[in-house]
Amino acid sequence: MGGGPWWGSSDKEQCVETVGKASAAGINLIDTAPGYGFGQSEEIVGKAIVGRRDEVLISTKCGLWWEDGRGTEFFELDGRKVRRCLEPDTIRREIEMSLRRLGVGCIDIYFTHWQSVEPGFTPIDKTMNCLMDLKRQGLIKAIGASNVSVAHLSEYGKYGKLDVIQEKYSILDRRIEAELLPFCIENNIAVMAYSPMEQGLLTGSIDMDYKPDPASARAGIPWIKRENRRRVLDMLEAWGGLVKKYGCTLSQLVLACTAGRRGITHVLCGARKPGHIAETAAAANITLEQADADRMWADVAALGEPI
């Protein structure tokens, strides 16, 4: 919904309607961030939840900073230099702006979006102490961290309660299963999976003729490269019998498989049209038989690694 070069143009009114449809369909968690469209996504969410704040949990983030030169340069987009910065004073400024854009008095889950790195490194104790203070003040209810390592999580845990992480995870990208997911299971930390559909590849809507815009987020997905895509498309086609068996779409089948993975507590699905939400929500009604889930994961393993 933030639009821009990475995600393409968005119809704001349609996006507002989409959030409303999500709530009506039983989806009660809305994840956003200041960095999505430099505040546009938060503003859309704020407009959409007027009069229904009690129906939804709001998740947003801090740590991508473009107001001044503090932090470590990360990327440049739309003429803005964005930096990783988790200093307490920038976090406090960020939450003020997020609360205003969202039109709320409290954020349910507040994430550090990307972790601080040199040369503008902020020790995690300073960041976590600030977040715990915001929690004591009633400005946030739960604390999360995104794009982390086990070392990060161990350090966060020394200074307060980390409730949830948010990481890239899909049936094609299971890197977090090596260390992060077992750590979170052992320490009772929730795991939100982002990009579970690999920017649309796992919906089956991207064929071999598709050419991604070099500036788009899709261009960086290894499995979308032509030399890898054929293997994925053949696998998805082979799941046609499962789609028929469960009376669902391919997207719903993939989401049900992803959500059923041990330790994955939330699956975040992007949407900017009401129709996207209707399909996503229906995936929650699918429970795969164990043999079918095992078959899907075996097929995924047989793919090997992308070139």
- Choice among 36, 110, 156, 169 that is catalytic: 36
Inter-residue contact 227 to 299 (CB < 8 Å): no
DSSP string, 26-39: T--EEE--TTTTTT
Annotated catalytic residue 36: yes
Work out the number of other CB atoms within 10 angstroms of the CB of residue 69: 11
- Residues 6+ away with beta carbon under 8 Å from 220: none
The residues that bridge with 107 in the sheet, in sequence order, are 140
- Residues 6+ away with beta carbon under 8 Å from 189: 153, 162, 163, 164, 165, 183
Residue 120 backbone dihedrals phi, psi, to 5 degrees: -95, 50
**Dihedral sign computed on CA atoms, order 87, 89, 95, 100:** negative
Report, as residue numbers or ranges, the catalytic residues. 36
